[in-house]
Amino acid sequence: MSLRRSSRGATLWDREGYVENEGLKLRYLERGKGKPVLLLHGFGDSAEVWEFVIPHLKGAFRRIALDQRGHGESSRASPEAYTTLHFVSDIEALRRELGLEGFSLVGHSMGGRNALVYSAMYGDGVRRLVVIDYGPELAPEGRRRILRALRIRPDRFRLEEMAEALMEENPRLDLHKALQYLTRVTRPTEDGLFTWRCDLRLLQRMREGKRVIRDIDLWEFLPKVKTPTLLLRGELSDLLSPEGARRTVEALPLARLREIPRAGHAVILDNPEDTARAIGEFLS
């Protein structure tokens, strides 16, 4: 399978691969050589969203981005197999497949949740952990905003119309970046429209107000995370409040907090340059 190329024709990734776990095929992308860094996207996203960050991530890093189960080009699971522990099992399967030792984990939103639980359970192999705008205490206003957006967001749409909708939700996006994002998380349909590159059943469960992914008490896992941890909070985030971020860092044995300016919850879209700088400085 050919790797996607940028508008300049340069290959964005060196390698694409698959690992099997629990009967599912999980796709990952790799770029560069050096210290291994495993990148975990948020809910509804794909491995390609890290393309906003990695051009700015300086240093000798082997960047590995996983399409988590039900997302991107990875297999869709049965409805009961989207628990946090299933996602964590996938991370461990990829680690074994690639023979990773002393690697770092970087996760945004849902990916941050999975990275935290993985580090609590398999922390001996994790060198550094970066969690982006996530914690066990999520602000009600942010959760309501996300739910409202999902309820008016169709499964099939015209790309330009969805870009306009995203810009209304996030004033820090312009049309160019909104379209860049959509090309990474959607696929064309036979009738000329587009649909999301994730399990649409998950989106429907979210629209119905059902608990998706958030199936465990994350507070119980935080004291078990012995890995040096950096919590990045979007300065303008309505999902992770300053108080929620502070309480999360206090519950982690070896954690520090850093805010990314001019960024809401979509930190890696709103300010990829400062996000990459913070990650690179911490991992180096």
pLDDT tens digits along 30-75: 999 999 999 999 999 999 999 999 999 988 999 999 999 999 999 9
Chain-wide mean pLDDT for the chain? 94
Does the pLDDT value for residue 9 go beyond 90?
Answer: no
pLDDT of residue 151: 86
CATH architecture of the domain 15-138+213-283 equals 3-Layer(aba) Sandwich (3.40)
Dihedral pair phi/psi, residue 23, rounded to 5°:
80, 5
Query: How does residue 5 score in pLDDT terms, banded at 50, 70 and 90?
Result: very low
Please report how many Cα atoms fall inside a 13 Å half-sphere around the Cα of residue 185, on the Cβ side.
Answer: 26
**Strand, coil or helix: 11:** strand
DSSP 173-223: --HHHHHHHHHHHEEE-TTS-EEESB-HHHHHHHHTT---S--S-GGGTGG
pLDDT of residue 205: 87
Does the pLDDT value for residue 109 go beyond 90?
Answer: yes
Query: How does residue 93 score in pLDDT terms, banded at 50, 70 and 90?
Result: very high
Does the pLDDT value for residue 10 go beyond 60?
Answer: no
Task: Give the separation between CA 108 and CA 112, rounded to whole angstroms.
Answer: 5
Q: Parallel, antiparallel, or unpaired for β 126-132 and 103-108? A: parallel
Query: How does residue 7 score in pLDDT terms, banded at 50, 70 and 90?
Result: very low
pLDDT, tens digit (0-9, with 9 covering 90-100), for 163-210: 999 999 999 999 999 999 999 999 999 999 999 999 999 999 888 877
pLDDT of residue 240: 98
Residue range 233-251: mean pLDDT, rounded: 98
pLDDT of residue 13: 96
pLDDT of residue 192: 95
Residue range 91-107: mean pLDDT, rounded: 98
Residue range 225-244: mean pLDDT, rounded: 98
Does the pLDDT value for residue 99 go beyond 70?
Answer: yes
More confident residue, 256 or 80: 256
